[in-house]
């Protein structure tokens, strides 16, 4: 694999065009997390998602890393179930963290990755009618579901909609 500026641009476009799947998974994940934590969480629109993708890829240092992980996960298929599970989980978690941003968002993105990865099957209904699938088909690479979960976890963490992220942080010190 060779990562060039053109390769990064290609991955940017692929991630942008994955909006139907990723936004459905973001919103399913947010709904489940909101219910678990007894809070209202705003849904994400395809436009918000695409703007956030553009923002991530506008940062060249972040973009090259995101593009490389996206490319690997799009093509990753490991013979046998368990070895592939370990590799794609590791790569997916890292991708979610990079997309989410600096700490503490990075850690939240990584943690949410595992939640979104398990929730992919439940998001299938949310994608109906879009022509896209949130579930991996028999012929798809094993890393594709982890890629979708990573994109959903990273962008859902990065995007506004959580009340605790709105307003001033009460722990900030004013020197």
Q: What are the residue boundaries of the structural domains of the chain, listed by start? A: 5-160
| pLDDT by position in tens, the chain (length 175) | 899 999 999 999 999 999 999 999 999 999 999 999 999 999 999 999 999 999 999 999 999 999 999 999 999 877 766 666 788 889 999 999 999 999 999 999 999 999 898 877 655 545 554 555 454 555 677 788 899 999 999 999 999 998 888 888 888 898 8
How many other CB atoms sit within 10 Å of the CB of residue 69?
A: 22
User: What's the predicted TM-score (pTM) here?
Assistant: 0.88
Dihedral of CA atoms 158, 162, 163, 166 in degrees, nearest 10, equals: 20
pLDDT at 125: 46
């Amino acid at each position: 694999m060779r990562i060039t500026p053109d390769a990064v641009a290609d991955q940017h476009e692929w991630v942008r065009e994955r909006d139907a799947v990723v936004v459905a998974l973001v919103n399913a994940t947010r709904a489940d997390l909101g219910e678990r934590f007894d809070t209202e969480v705003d849904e994400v629109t395809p436009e918000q998602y695409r703007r956030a993708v553009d923002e991530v890829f506008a940062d060249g240092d972040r973009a090259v890393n995101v593009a490389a992980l996206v490319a690997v996960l799009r093509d990753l298929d490991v013979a046998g179930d368990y070895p592939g599970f370990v590799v794609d989980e590791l790569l997916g978690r890292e991708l979610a963290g990079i997309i989410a941003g600096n700490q503490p968002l990075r850690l939240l993105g990584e943690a949410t990755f595992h939640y979104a990865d398990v929730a992919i099957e439940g998001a299938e209904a949310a994608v109906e009618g879009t022509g896209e699938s949130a579930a991996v088909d028999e012929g798809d690479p094993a890393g594709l579901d982890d890629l979708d979960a990573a994109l959903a976890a990273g962008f859902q963490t990065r995007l506004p909609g959580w009340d605790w992220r709105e307003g001033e942080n009460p722990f900030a010190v004013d020197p």
